[in-house]
């Protein structure tokens, strides 16, 4: 579900952030991916039937148009040496969602944010939004975000390559996908991973580092 009214300058600001992100990530390697993944504490998954969209917090850039305005489910896509990361700051339990379940011909991809968390300037994050075309969320994204066709972050290859999806593989850059629709748990498996820090998301989100020359305009 999307809410919110006019936010003048959204796209101009985002174009600047996208330019920064592309310049910083240009030259990074690509690698194929077949699923998204999501880590949460084990109690999140207890008796869970469907992962439901929730309103985006205020983490990242304070001018990010989806903060407090758009609902979705966050997934990771970044690999570590071709494999899933062995640890997560978000929880000890992981679910993987096959890409064909959410990334088909009915969706559109948008750029939403490029940031580093306060006190963690070595790591940068690219936030993409994936939404079903012509849905209310898509209408919001069309107004406020940058639609991505060719991009270096998450790209579907031409049909001759069987619609293979590739993602950026660059040290200390993490691509995250905010999917704006519910995801059924039926048929999805859970695995246990090690945690970093508290193993839980910070309530309200962690703000962007002020003054970082890489991700600030």
User: For 142-160, what is each residue's pLDDT tens digit?
Assistant: 999 999 988 899 988 765 4
pLDDT, tens digit (0-9, with 9 covering 90-100), for 46-94: 999 999 999 999 999 999 999 999 999 999 998 877 788 889 999 999 9
* Residues 123, 117 contacting (CB under 8 angstroms): yes
Angle (CA) 168-203-208 rounded to 5° is 50
Residue 128's alpha-carbon distances to 22, 41, 80, 92, 160, in angstroms, are 13, 23, 19, 24, 25
All structural domains of the chain with their residue ranges: 28-195
pLDDT recorded at residue 6: 45
What was the pLDDT predicted at 84? 87
Mean pLDDT value of segment 16-22: 96
183 φ, ψ to 5°? Answer: -130, 110
Going by C-alpha positions, the residue among 161, 172, 176, 37 that lies closest to residue 113 is 176
C-alpha 146/C-alpha 124 separation (Å) is 19
User: What sign for the dihedral angle of Cα 101, 158, 85, 130?
Assistant: negative
**Distance (Å, whole) CA 39 – CA 78:** 13
Reply yes or no on whether the pLDDT at 3 is more than 50: no
The two structure tokens encoding residue 151: 């991009």
Kindly state the tokens that stand for 86.
């062995």
Average pLDDT of the chain is 89
């Amino acid at each position: 579900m999307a809410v919110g009214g006019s936010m003048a300058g959204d796209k101009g600001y985002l174009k600047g952030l996208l330019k920064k992100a592309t310049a910083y990530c240009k030259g990074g390697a690509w690698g194929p991916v077949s699923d998204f993944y999501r880590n949460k504490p084990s109690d999140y998954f207890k008796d869970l039937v469907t992962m439901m969209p929730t309103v985006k917090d205020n983490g990242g850039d304070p001018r990010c148009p989806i903060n407090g305005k758009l609902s979705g489910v966050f997934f990771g896509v970044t690999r570590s040496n071709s494999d899933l990361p062995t640890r997560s700051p978000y929880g000890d339990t992981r679910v993987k969602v096959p890409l064909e379940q959410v990334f088909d011909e009915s969706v559109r991809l948008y750029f939403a944010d490029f940031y580093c968390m306060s006190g963690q300037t070595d790591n940068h994050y690219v936030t993409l939004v994936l939404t079903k075309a012509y849905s209310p969320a898509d209408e919001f994204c069309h107004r406020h975000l940058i639609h991505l066709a060719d991009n270096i972050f998450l790209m579907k290859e031409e049909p001759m390559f069987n619609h293979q999806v590739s993602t950026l593989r660059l040290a200390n850059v993490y691509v995250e996908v905010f999917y704006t629709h519910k995801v059924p748990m039926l048929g999805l498996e859970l695995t246990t991973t090690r945690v970093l820090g508290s193993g839980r998301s910070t309530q309200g989100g962690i703000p962007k580092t002020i003054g970082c020359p890489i991700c600030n305009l």
